[in-house]
Amino acid sequence: MRRWVDEKRQEKIAERELKLLEKGFNFGKKLYKARDELHER
């Protein structure tokens, strides 16, 4: 039972983190649309 609870907890954490990644990054005043743009400069 404890393993099942731990797995469910990990699933919730993973879902929350994936939503955060989908939201995108805010790089401060200069807003880049993608992380790759930082490496082009």
Give me the pLDDT at residue 29, please: 64
Please give the Cα distance from 2 to 16 (Å, whole number): 21
pTM over 0.75: no
Domain coordinates in residue numbering, the chain: 2-40
Contacts of 19 (CB under 8 A, 6+ apart): none
pLDDT tens figures, 25-41: 665 666 666 777 667 55
CB-CB contact of 38 with 32 (8 Å): yes
Residues 6+ apart with CB under 8 A from 27: 38
Average pLDDT, the chain: 79
Looking at residue 10, what is its pLDDT? 95
Between 14 and 31, residue with greater pLDDT = 14
| DSSP letter string, the chain | -HHHHHHHHHHHHHHHHHHHHHH----SSS--SSTHHHHH-
